[in-house]
Amino acid sequence: MNKTATRQPKLGVCYYPEHWPESEWADHARQMADIGLSYVRIGEFAWSRLEPNPGQYEFDWLERSMDVLGNAGLQVVLGTPTATPPKWLCDQMPDMFAIDEEGRRLGFGSRRHYDFSHVGFRDECARIVTKLAERFGHHSALTVWQTDNEYGCHNTTYSYSPVALAAFRNWLAKKYDSIADLNRLWGNVFWSMEYRSFDDIELPNLTPAEANPSHRLDFLRFSSDQVVLFNRVQVGILRKLSPGHDIVHNFMGAFVEFDHFDVGRDLDISSWDSYPLGSMERRVDVSDDHKSKYLNQGDPDFQAFHHDLYRGTSNSRWWVMEQQPGPVNWADWNPAPLPGMVRLWSWEAIAHGAEVVSYFRWRQAPFAQEQMHAGLTRPDGSPDIASVEAAQVAREIAALDLNVETGVADVALVLDYNSIWMSNIQPQGKDFDPIAICLAFYSAARKLGLSLDIVSSDEDLSAYRLILVPNLLHVTDSALGSLAKTESLTVFGPRSGSKTHHLTIPDALAPGPLSALLPIRVERVESLRPGIEIAVEGGSVSKWREHLQLLSKPDQQRCADDGTPIAVRYGSRTYIAGWPDDALLSAVLTNLAHAAGVPTHALPDGVRLRKMGDKWVFVNYGRSEQDLSHIIKQQQILMGDGPVIPCAGVLITTAA
Amino acid sequence: MNKTATRQPKLGVCYYPEHWPESEWADHARQMADIGLSYVRIGEFAWSRLEPNPGQYEFDWLERSMDVLGNAGLQVVLGTPTATPPKWLCDQMPDMFAIDEEGRRLGFGSRRHYDFSHVGFRDECARIVTKLAERFGHHSALTVWQTDNEYGCHNTTYSYSPVALAAFRNWLAKKYDSIADLNRLWGNVFWSMEYRSFDDIELPNLTPAEANPSHRLDFLRFSSDQVVLFNRVQVGILRKLSPGHDIVHNFMGAFVEFDHFDVGRDLDISSWDSYPLGSMERRVDVSDDHKSKYLNQGDPDFQAFHHDLYRGTSNSRWWVMEQQPGPVNWADWNPAPLPGMVRLWSWEAIAHGAEVVSYFRWRQAPFAQEQMHAGLTRPDGSPDIASVEAAQVAREIAALDLNVETGVADVALVLDYNSIWMSNIQPQGKDFDPIAICLAFYSAARKLGLSLDIVSSDEDLSAYRLILVPNLLHVTDSALGSLAKTESLTVFGPRSGSKTHHLTIPDALAPGPLSALLPIRVERVESLRPGIEIAVEGGSVSKWREHLQLLSKPDQQRCADDGTPIAVRYGSRTYIAGWPDDALLSAVLTNLAHAAGVPTHALPDGVRLRKMGDKWVFVNYGRSEQDLSHIIKQQQILMGDGPVIPCAGVLITTAA
Amino acid sequence: MNKTATRQPKLGVCYYPEHWPESEWADHARQMADIGLSYVRIGEFAWSRLEPNPGQYEFDWLERSMDVLGNAGLQVVLGTPTATPPKWLCDQMPDMFAIDEEGRRLGFGSRRHYDFSHVGFRDECARIVTKLAERFGHHSALTVWQTDNEYGCHNTTYSYSPVALAAFRNWLAKKYDSIADLNRLWGNVFWSMEYRSFDDIELPNLTPAEANPSHRLDFLRFSSDQVVLFNRVQVGILRKLSPGHDIVHNFMGAFVEFDHFDVGRDLDISSWDSYPLGSMERRVDVSDDHKSKYLNQGDPDFQAFHHDLYRGTSNSRWWVMEQQPGPVNWADWNPAPLPGMVRLWSWEAIAHGAEVVSYFRWRQAPFAQEQMHAGLTRPDGSPDIASVEAAQVAREIAALDLNVETGVADVALVLDYNSIWMSNIQPQGKDFDPIAICLAFYSAARKLGLSLDIVSSDEDLSAYRLILVPNLLHVTDSALGSLAKTESLTVFGPRSGSKTHHLTIPDALAPGPLSALLPIRVERVESLRPGIEIAVEGGSVSKWREHLQLLSKPDQQRCADDGTPIAVRYGSRTYIAGWPDDALLSAVLTNLAHAAGVPTHALPDGVRLRKMGDKWVFVNYGRSEQDLSHIIKQQQILMGDGPVIPCAGVLITTAA
């Protein structure tokens, strides 16, 4: 994988010409260009305007809007409108609606009202995408296609419908040699859950007790594959009819319902929709104190985590497709960003290699569901704060040379969707959240000033100097190969290697195949209710704790108060037998970074650093200014007024 | 509107002769008369006894019970039994049941098992009401008719059934010129939600994301109108067949599912069911500390608020139809009132102009759902505490002349159901409860000893000296006219004027049409999670905060710690750009009251005052006695043992 | 009832031969025997292996497994597999699935997917049980039959299906003389809920307001009876075809959906599945502090309570059928027992008279729903901690003579399922949990070192010296007879006698028929929200408080701060008019125990004592060792290292 960023970053915006009088379009375009935007995403919810009646295509207005934008020097990202099928289409095939886990049909009236498994609807999508590609595939303003919008948003990945059931049975029949094979691998002898044919299999919802976890896991895999398939149909059409144009999809944060590596492989560019304040408010794994501390800034690591994650899904090419510009409408509470935060978020994305940062949206809509969602301009067209900050970012980019060759980061964090699904299906402790433990490892490393890549489990890891594996429950053969091959210092979180492909326990117990690398055996696991902490040398563990049998003497270990080992190091590999707090993680990672020769930095509270080639980009999520002299030392300040970084500030330095 | 109370108040009780042996009726009636009751409500749940089989009317027992009551000198309030259709009727038309938001049919087995939109059921109601009116419309004991019972109780206003859908489509087709008109006004271009005909429109439930807020608002309006229509059918029959008798319905507290001004207009008298302890326990906007402090008394402002609200819905004629007499059965916890509280609640209602305070119920039922609901007498017939207190109230009334001409209050509070629905549809902050902010303004004024009227937004406001507008999101032309015309000091809460009739944002942003009165523009709004407080001179705001652009220099302003304006006064109008705490509200209102020449009073904790013409009625919701000498001064004490008001005490004074 | 334990206790284990290669069976059996186990339960989930296709019986493997076990000297408990009907059977009769209260059909994919009222399924169960009994009814290894598994687990007792409705109507038609009778006894005149025929009656779910409590109560009784009937069919077959073998069923803890006395009467032996850690975590009536304090031990009284309860359901013969051996998988959090706790739990059960303590399960399954549930051995076959502790218990049993004649305990606690259902249907206070108040009385007595029997309300109580009646809402004639006959000191909890058989209020108010024994009358009840405590001499009451009228002067009383009586004693009977805290209960019970001549013991925190004939068995649930010298005094120590009992320790003494 080519870990580089070699383009000067650009800014963009999301725009809905159909929401505004055509007479204003040219003015909008000029304003966009004036503040330094380069890209404009349009079209992704406009099906009812593009085809108001069956087969009656109304594409002229879209062409005119693209002309207007192109004439203003803007490049167009054109979205396929498949997230919002019009009412007449739904009436033609009422079984295209998904059915939720409780058995309720979710119908027309908002968006994403479709079942990924509905073949008829998929065909309709192919039809409209074909028509759009034929008409606009060579438009001069067109640069990038976006497929659909936010796959899976509003819990729409999973459907418990008859069409999903039929597709699931087919998927299983292809995966397994025979029904006997499936019965054996799922352990269906348990509770007499055995099937006599693939047509016996039901969906894993609405059962008196929980359904078989192997059954549930395959249903999640199937559902992820249906997203991949749905996307691939559109990608195939666009590649054929509009060659030379990149294809992107906009992912979401803290969303794991499908395997983003799988979808990303079919795209040229991954992107995601970054809403720091809304996302933090929604998280249940974050304390109220943390939410109050970062109320108007967002969690200091959440955005960077996703930047690094999605950078890893499409060969290092990635965008922020939707950047929060002000208060949103969809969290329980919706505060405003501190002045400067929109600029900070933009620069942070650039520091992590974003090709484009695109704000959502140009003008706040005065109507419908998102009318309380701020934009770069207000509903009356007046510029909102974010447009001033965006313009500043544009000027700042122009003043710097950011065609930086970055290479891979010092540190890799391995993230595996199959393992995440396994953790979620059987968390064993109610608050065992696999994304939260990945974020805990990520955050601890970031607080030490480390820069990371997030990679899938089957990636070649040899280029990294430190590897974090927080939640790899299932270790595939290829993952084992990569992990075995590298001499890099590697640290594994609890539950590593504890499950097979079918979400069963390995014959030799956890850490399963990793026992080839780590001479330990997990004899027992406990999950711990909130408030229970096990003191460990250097910190503590909570939520989860394992009891290890050490098959040989470790090179190093940290023990719990009762003398049992929690963190053990054998050669280059360390295993942590519990959910570590920040202090313990920091202690372990500091040691390992020093051993690996990776420099760490004592970053003040709220400050984060991303190294971008020879440039160091500091951001300050805290409310207080911080003096960075001790870190910057002799470096030259490229952007910023000195070594003191203000609240919501950005500071860029380079080797002197 | 004629704001007067010119009748000597009376007491009443709710009674179910069908629950008791006929041989005991005369004894019950005698006891009622003995303790000083004048009115007895009967009949409102008795359909299965009035028509045990289809078309077989059994009215004789009811006539005998009315005779017995009349012979004891009691006046009858006769309820129509339409809240409890019998099983055989439901079996005839099983689609008469409502379907809830989750798609579940709610059937027979309790009460209110009907869909307001079911024409067949409405016809059946007309039939039974006609029969009752024909038979009893001129009975000598009959005084008042009550329609149905507690419209909307148990979340029954809204139905998501096929019959509701059909009626909704008709309602929309009448309201909008064309489907294009509806699409434009709802903003259906957003997310391709456009319809091609009124028959395309679905109900706004069970959608993957939230449905269009304009769609939801019209559904709430439609549902409210269905209640109005349902009630009007009965009113029409009763007016025709039983002329000269007042018609009443019993509303509920903290209930906003329909527009009570609209229903009230068709009635002669509004009434409500006042359950101070149960209501407080159920509220989610009240802290546990407050609930503990007033555990056995109820919130000191909740009852008065509803007295003033419902007094405003039927030309100032209003009753308490059901007064809590002891512990109820339906809150999560059901404590007992302090000794004296039933008397206090009764007197407070009288002070606010109630013509009748009617206790629920005469005798506690030993069976069925409400068997743990206290009455004036216990299930064994022995008098419970409340009957002693009711008798005391009756004696006290008799000892005073309460034919008081009151006129309008000094202060008006504007309450608008459309605005409440808008706030509830898009609260933007999870705890933005429109009733809570109205109560906050109301309570702050009450603590200053002010007496209020609660009025609808299209009322003439010129007679008031101080006007509170806590939550008027939508300002109609007539409301704007009233607000513009008056020179009275007016204070607006946050979000005022922020929405159009269709729940969209006004072209010129908030405060929309109010910008003609207030030279400000709301540039940004934030909702704030619990625990976040913005300090403001004189208090603080929480939950909600706006950022104002001041288009001219205000005459007076209070700023937040960061220097931004929160409360601004221009001439007679003040705007508060956030959800104020009690201290801030008190500071603002004290200033305005003084400016308006309205006297305020430093009421001790827990004490409230209602002025009733020249009479001042003090009540003490607190647990400690309080000395009121500094307020009473030279006034003459009409009722009470001196200037010290005991716990749960009532003190009445008059100009010396 | 014969309250004795005269057999030497044994140990057992649950085992699933179908989960493991047949080649390993003999080895497993040998290991079981080696650690001292005597009983092995098998077969209860194996229907799909016993009848893989309709009518194709595959019993040979089961016979071979029984042979293997028998050859190792083990005795077999054979379970009927009716909790897990195979897929093909469900496909034959899809209406055999239960429908939950929300109207959702709960289908195949886990276990207990059947409706107790489905006659076709009951016939299928009879068929497979008949076949099994015919084949294995005289097998030499067979000792005990178990019917089904954990009736009602996963909320499966109640079904709201058409088949349940039909059966319910029949049940009602048999119970009531006429529909008029039912209408009168349920109070259906209320809200016009009257029926014209039994075929009018619906199930009491999905109504706008709550359904009639009498209706709900009869539905609970019906549902309990359906369980009794379902079980009785199997018992009948087994008694006939396999005479001489005991029949058992395994009940659960804190589970009251059916009347265990009723089911128990048809069994030879009652048993229950004891999971101290999982059960405590699941309880909502236990504070977080308590859960943390006993995190790895379980509540000190919960297990003993159920031992004593289920000992009372089958003529004193009882087992622990499933004993928690390590972390389980089904609570929100699943910690591990402290070392020694499995031994402690085993000994505690023995002290309470268990004939057999059987661990769940032999070997942790590596697959399916319970793969995170520990066993005596790990998934790889290695012994887990519990197997070491089980072996120790086996050795310890062997070293003692435990053929002890115990007789009845000093203290009886009366538990009545009808009263529990009444409390649950109308708790009146959200946290009025009838099991919690029974546990509160039980625990207070246990902390005083008392040993208890738990008995049904119609039992002869004359042999007891102290009788606790915490929650007897409904006092039957026979209960009244027993309570009237005995001279034993008796203490009644709040709500005693407050309801009739039909869940209505007695004519003369509470305590209803008990007023013959206690000259009091309950004038008013209050439920109190969390945080509200009423101070009483010697302690306090919370949650619930009654106001008593004393019809004569009590011999003794404890009053609340306001002077009203809370605990009153008349002769041998004491009534507590509220939910007492531990201090108040302890004070009351200490007094009564002394008056009754029952010795109490000042047990240290966490220590409990059960007297087993002349043997005293102490267990220490606390984390600190405790010196018991002051209690043991001159007693001889039979097991244990001296008078100091360690954490998780067991100490057995006998009269010197």
Predicted confidence at residue C1, as pLDDT, reads 45
Strands B10-14 and B356-359 turn out to be parallel
Residue labelled with tokens 């505004």: A20
3-state secondary structure B252-278: CCCCCCCCHHHHHHCCCEEEEEECHHH
In this model, does residue B85 exceed pLDDT 60?
Answer: yes
Give C 529-558 residues with CB within 8 A of chain B.
Answer: 529-532, 547
Nearest CB to C333 within list A186, A505, A529: A529
Is B365's Cβ below 8 Å from some Cβ in C?
A: yes
**In this complex, do A524 and C327 lie within 8 Å of one another by their Cβ atoms?**
yes
**In this complex, do A84 and B192 lie within 8 Å of one another by their Cβ atoms?**
yes
Of A571, A596, A621, which residue sits at a domain end? A596
Across C533-649, the runs of DSSP E, i.e. the strands, are: 533-536, 539-550, 556-559, 565-570, 573-576, 578-580, 607-612, 615-620, 626-627, 636-639, 644-645
Residues B497 and B563 in one domain: yes
Nearest CB to A292 within list B192, B502, B532: B532
**In this complex, do B207 and A291 lie within 8 Å of one another by their Cβ atoms?**
no
Task: Give residue A472's domain range.
Answer: 411-596
Phi, psi (rounded to 5 degrees) for A343? -65, -45
A492 falls within a domain: yes
Bridge partners of C251, per DSSP, are C272
**In this complex, do C281 and A523 lie within 8 Å of one another by their Cβ atoms?**
no
Which residue type sits at C47? W
Element (H or E) spanning C12, and its range?
strand C10-14
Summarize the confidence of residues B261-288 as an average pLDDT: 98
In this model, does residue B1 exceed pLDDT 50?
Answer: no
3-state secondary structure C68-137: HHHHCCCEEEEECCCCCCCHHHHHHCHHHCCECCCCCECCCCCCCCCCCCCHHHHHHHHHHHHHHHHHHC
Residue labelled with tokens 């709900």: C216
Is B239's Cβ below 8 Å from some Cβ in A?
A: no
Residues A489 and A619 in one domain: no
Query: C343 in helix, strand or coil?
Result: helix
The band of A1, judged by pLDDT with boundaries at 50, 70 and 90, is very low
Predicted confidence at residue C7, as pLDDT, reads 80
Residues B362 and B476 in one domain: no
Residues B128 and B92 in one domain: yes
**Which tokens go with B266?**
């068709």
Residues B150, B257, B348, B389: which is the catalytic one? Answer: B150
Residue range A194-216, pLDDT digits in tens: 999 999 999 999 999 999 999 99
* ipTM of the prediction: 0.97
Q: How far, in Å, CA of C455 to CA of C448, rounded?
A: 20
Predicted confidence at residue A6, as pLDDT, reads 67
Is B523's Cβ below 8 Å from some Cβ in A?
A: yes
- Residues of chain C in contact with residue A426, where contact means CB-CB under 8 angstroms, are 329, 371-372
C602 falls within a domain: no
**Which tokens go with A385?**
């704060």
**In this complex, do B106 and C207 lie within 8 Å of one another by their Cβ atoms?**
yes
Task: Name the minimum distance, in Å, from the CA of A15 to any CA of chain B.
Answer: 12
Q: What is the pTM of this model?
A: 0.97
- Beta carbons of C584 and C557 less than 8 angstroms apart: no
Residues B417 and B305 in one domain: no
Residue range C340-395, pLDDT digits in tens: 999 999 999 999 999 999 999 999 999 999 999 999 999 999 999 999 999 999 99
B169 falls within a domain: no
Give the CATH number of the domain where residue B370 resides. Answer: 3.20.20.80
- Beta carbons of C649 and C628 less than 8 angstroms apart: no
Is C106's Cβ below 8 Å from some Cβ in A?
A: yes
A393 falls within a domain: no
Identify which of A333, A332, A262, A337 has the alpha carbon closest to the alpha carbon of residue A303: A337
- Residues of chain A in contact with residue B432, where contact means CB-CB under 8 angstroms, are none
Predicted confidence at residue B518, as pLDDT, reads 98
- Beta carbons of B374 and B359 less than 8 angstroms apart: no
Q: How far, in Å, CA of A586 to CA of B348, rounded?
A: 64
Which residue in C has a C-alpha nearest to residue A209's C-alpha? C110
Residues B149 and B292 in one domain: yes
**In this complex, do C529 and B335 lie within 8 Å of one another by their Cβ atoms?**
yes
Nearest CB to A109 within list B193, B508, B532: B193
**In this complex, do A208 and C19 lie within 8 Å of one another by their Cβ atoms?**
no
Residues B44, B257, B281, B322: which is the catalytic one? Answer: B322
Question: Quick one: DSSP state of residue B30?
Answer: H
Residues C44, C124, C150, C396: which is the catalytic one? Answer: C150
The band of A655, judged by pLDDT with boundaries at 50, 70 and 90, is confident
**In this complex, do C88 and A507 lie within 8 Å of one another by their Cβ atoms?**
no
**Which tokens go with B58?**
């059994």
Residue range A445-460, pLDDT digits in tens: 999 999 999 999 989 9
Is the C-alpha dihedral spanning B25, B27, B33, B36 positive or negative?
negative
B502 falls within a domain: yes
Task: Name the minimum distance, in Å, from the CA of A30 to any CA of chain B.
Answer: 22
pLDDT above 90 covers a percentage of chain C that reads: 97
**Which tokens go with C56?**
């194709």
Interface test with C, best of B108, B281, B324, B361 (most C CBs within 10 A): B108
The band of A656, judged by pLDDT with boundaries at 50, 70 and 90, is confident
Give the CATH number of the domain where residue B632 resides. Answer: 2.60.40.1180
Q: How far, in Å, CA of B457 to CA of B252, rounded?
A: 21
Which residue in A has a C-alpha nearest to residue B429's C-alpha? A333
B481 falls within a domain: yes
C150 catalytic? Reply is yes
Chains that touch A (3 or more CB pairs under 8 A): B, C
Residue range A540-569, pLDDT digits in tens: 999 999 999 999 999 999 999 999 999 999
For the sheet with B452-455, list strands across it: B452-455, B411-414, B466-469, B489-492, B573-576, B565-570, B556-559
Distance set, CA C514 to CA C91, C420, C490 (Å): 53, 18, 12
A348 catalytic? Reply is no
Is C285's Cβ below 8 Å from some Cβ in A?
A: no
C4 falls within a domain: no
The band of B6, judged by pLDDT with boundaries at 50, 70 and 90, is low
Chains that touch C (3 or more CB pairs under 8 A): A, B
Residue labelled with tokens 């009769």: C93
Residues B120 and B237 in one domain: yes
Residue range C12-54, pLDDT digits in tens: 999 999 999 999 999 999 999 999 999 999 999 999 999 999 9
Question: Quick one: DSSP state of residue B156?
Answer: T
Query: C323 in helix, strand or coil?
Result: strand
Summarize the confidence of residues A328-335 as an average pLDDT: 98
Helices (H) and strands (E) in chain A — how many of each? 19, 25
Nearest CB to A192 within list C46, C335, C366: C46
Of C343, C367, C398, which residue sits at a domain end? C398
Question: Quick one: DSSP state of residue C56?
Answer: B
Residue range A148-171, pLDDT digits in tens: 999 999 999 999 999 999 999 999
Task: Name the minimum distance, in Å, from the CA of B92 to any CA of chain C.
Answer: 12
Residues A568 and A614 in one domain: no
Predicted confidence at residue C406, as pLDDT, reads 77
Interface test with B, best of A87, A88, A113, A295 (most B CBs within 10 A): A87
The band of A4, judged by pLDDT with boundaries at 50, 70 and 90, is low
B346 falls within a domain: yes
Task: Name the minimum distance, in Å, from the CA of C473 to any CA of chain B.
Answer: 14
Give C 197-236 residues with CB within 8 A of chain B.
Answer: 200, 202, 204, 206-215
Q: How far, in Å, CA of C66 to CA of C79, rounded?
A: 12
Of B375, B399, B423, which residue sits at a domain end? B399
Q: Is A563 left (phi over 0), alpha (psi -120 to 50) or beta?
A: left
Residues C246 and C356 in one domain: yes
Q: How far, in Å, CA of B266 to CA of B315, rounded?
A: 11
Q: How far, in Å, CA of A302 to CA of A275, rounded?
A: 10
**Which tokens go with A233?**
């149909």
In this model, does residue B656 exceed pLDDT 90?
Answer: no
Q: How far, in Å, CA of A30 to CA of B551, rounded?
A: 28
Summarize the confidence of residues A531-543 as an average pLDDT: 98
**In this complex, do A104 and B206 lie within 8 Å of one another by their Cβ atoms?**
yes
User: Which ranges of A9-73 would DSSP assign to H, the alpha helix?
Assistant: 22-34, 47-50, 60-71
- Residues of chain B in contact with residue A108, where contact means CB-CB under 8 angstroms, are 193, 202, 207
User: Which ranges of A242-361 would DSSP assign to H, the alpha helix?
Assistant: 260-265, 276-282, 288-293, 302-311, 341-351
Residues A566 and A457 in one domain: yes
Is C92's Cβ below 8 Å from some Cβ in A?
A: no
Task: Name the minimum distance, in Å, from the CA of C289 to any CA of chain B.
Answer: 21
Residues A452 and A590 in one domain: yes
- Beta carbons of C464 and C408 less than 8 angstroms apart: yes
Q: How far apart are the first and last CA of chain A?
A: 30
Residue labelled with tokens 């009532």: B650
State the helix-helix crossing angle for C434-447 and C582-596, rounded to 10 degrees: 60
Summarize the confidence of residues B251-261 as an average pLDDT: 98
Which residue in B has a C-alpha nearest to residue A327's C-alpha? B526
Which residue in A has a C-alpha nearest to residue B195's C-alpha? A87
**In this complex, do B368 and C212 lie within 8 Å of one another by their Cβ atoms?**
yes
**In this complex, do B366 and C191 lie within 8 Å of one another by their Cβ atoms?**
no
Name, in order, each residue with C-beta under 8 angstroms of B178's C-beta and a sequence gap of 6 or more. none
Distance set, CA B332 to CA B277, B284, B450, B606 (Å): 11, 12, 33, 24
- Beta carbons of A80 and A248 less than 8 angstroms apart: no
Residues A499 and A446 in one domain: yes
What's the number of domains chain A is made of? 2
